[in-house]
Amino acid sequence: MFIIALTGGIGSGKSEAAKQFSLLGVPVVDTDAIAHALTVTGAPLLKIINQKLGGNFLAADGSLNRAKLRSHIFDNKEDRLNLEAILHPAIHALALEKLVQNEMQLRPNYQILVVPLLFENNRYDALVNRILVIDCDESVQIERAMARSNLTESQVKAMMAAQVSRKTRLTGADEVIENNGQLEELVVKVANLHKKFIKTCVVNK
């Protein structure tokens, strides 16, 4: 099956775009959602992560203190790499499993794989046939990310600085959806691209 990676910076509108593809009947595999599912309360990986990072990231009810973990790994490169070494292969394996399951569906002829940090690692390069970047002006990105996640401007800017530049993303894109406008415009752009993908995404068997 033809796999289209959907990526973009924080707050660019990846989740909104993915939702619209899904509403059109396109199978969507979201690596962020997988990461979340792998770290829900009681998940086996959670214990391993907590132990590896010093044992301070679980609340009394066993749930992960995500904000604490996020801020810890932001300041601590070694633990960020430790976390990634545990989590990323598991996310990749589960994503692959879901992509293969989706292959059983006959329609449409492509599926979407949401990978926020596609350009920051090469783990998904061999899997994807085409790259779709959701893009918007940095000021819009900051505004939306702040409102959505209750973050300060400097927190969002720090997260953006840890990601590849907008230019790098746009250079690596096969398709770009510009998402500066209203949600209705995004809906139309996704629908148009869907039509194009239906026509042009052909796998050489």
List of residues contacting ligand ADP (CB under 6 A): 8, 10-16, 144, 148, 179, 181-183, 186
Contacts 24+ apart (CB under 8 A), 89-94: 90/38, 90/45, 91/31, 91/34, 91/35, 91/38, 92/123, 92/124, 94/34, 94/37, 94/38
The CA distance from 190 to 124, in Å, is 22
Choice between 103 and 185, CB closer to ligand ADP: 185
The nearest distance, CB 54 to ligand ADP, in angstroms, is 28
Nearer to ligand ADP, 11 or 27 (CB): 11
Least Å distance, CB 161 to ligand ADP, is: 16
18 vs 46, beta carbon nearer ligand ADP: 18
Q: Nearest distance from residue 103's CB to ligand ADP, in Å? A: 25
Q: What CA–CA distances, in Å, run from 165 to 42, 157, 160, 161, 176?
A: 36, 12, 8, 8, 15
Alpha carbon 45 to chain centroid distance?
Answer: 20
Min dist CB 189 to ligand ADP, Å, is: 9
Residue (35 or 86) nearer to ligand ADP, CB:
35
